[in-house]
Amino acid sequence: MSRILLLHATTEGQTALIAERVAHTLREKGHSVELLPADAAKPLDPSAYDGVMIGASIHYGNHPAFLRKLVIRHRDALAARPCAFFSVSLSAGGPRPKPAAAQRYIDKFIRKTGWQPQMAISFAGALKWSMYGPIKRRVMFVFISLGGGNTDASNDYEYTDWDAVKRFAEAYAERLKQT
């Protein structure tokens, strides 16, 4: 049984849902998982865990700046244990999918932080019109209509492939076994 720290950085909640699903799968595999928002007030000590996974969403082309700083601060501890990263965006899947852009978001995060997680993946996120204020609505309307996507804002849309999330968690559990 490994002790895993699972951090998530979310704005509209989809990354937190994905992190919960990952935690569930890892617990089913017999691991102990501490699931925390990456901006939790609690001081973090990644060196107290056997493995660390971090998930974060993309807004305006970037993962949150505070997360980059956090990863840089703990880079040595992260480098010393099996780590995984997942990025959540609409480029990864949604009304206007752009897988190459989704991969670039991951590459940029790795380049800016100098962190080399052993596993990294992009998951499609969600379009949560009901949570957007007027500015975000406008931004998302333009973003989606430019790609010819459905701009019907009367419903929320979830694009996350939950089987892919489970497979990623299982693959990480396998990797932990090898350490």
Ligand X SMILES: Cc1cc2nc3c(=O)[nH]c(=O)nc-3n(C[C@H](O)[C@H](O)[C@H](O)COP(=O)(O)O)c2cc1C
**Structure tokens of 94?**
């949604």
Q: In this chain, which of 4, 12, 33, 81 binds ligand X, going by CB under 6 A?
A: 12
- The verdict on 89 binding ligand X (CB under 6 A) reads yes
- The verdict on 2 binding ligand X (CB under 6 A) reads no
Q: Which is nearer to ligand X, 54 or 90 (CB)?
A: 90
From the list 7-15, 27-35, 68-76, 77-85, the region that binds ligand X by CB under 6 A is 7-15
User: Which distant-in-sequence residues (6+ apart) come within 8 Å of 105 by Cβ?
Assistant: 58, 61, 62, 63, 87, 89, 91, 122
Q: In this chain, which of 7, 26, 44, 57 binds ligand X, going by CB under 6 A?
A: 57
Q: Which is nearer to ligand X, 75 or 98 (CB)?
A: 98
Question: Position 83: which residue type?
Answer: C
- The verdict on 103 binding ligand X (CB under 6 A) reads no
**Distances, alpha carbon 90 to alpha carbons 49, 59, 65, 101, 104, in Å:** 31, 10, 19, 10, 13
From the list 27-35, 71-79, 119-127, 162-170, the region that binds ligand X by CB under 6 A is 119-127
DSSP 8-class letter at 149: -
Q: Which of 88, 82, 145 is nearest to 119 (CA)?
A: 82
Site map (CB under 6 A) of ligand X, residues 16-45, x = contact: ------------------------------
The Cα–Cα gap between 13 and 121 comes to 18
- The verdict on 15 binding ligand X (CB under 6 A) reads yes
The closest residue (CB) to ligand X is 125
- The verdict on 58 binding ligand X (CB under 6 A) reads yes
Q: How many residues does the chain have?
A: 179
Q: Which of 161, 162, 142, 164 is nearest to 153 (CA)?
A: 142
- The verdict on 149 binding ligand X (CB under 6 A) reads no
Query: What is the contact surface with ligand X in residues (CB under 6 A)?
Result: 10-15, 57-61, 88-91, 125-127, 132, 136, 139-140
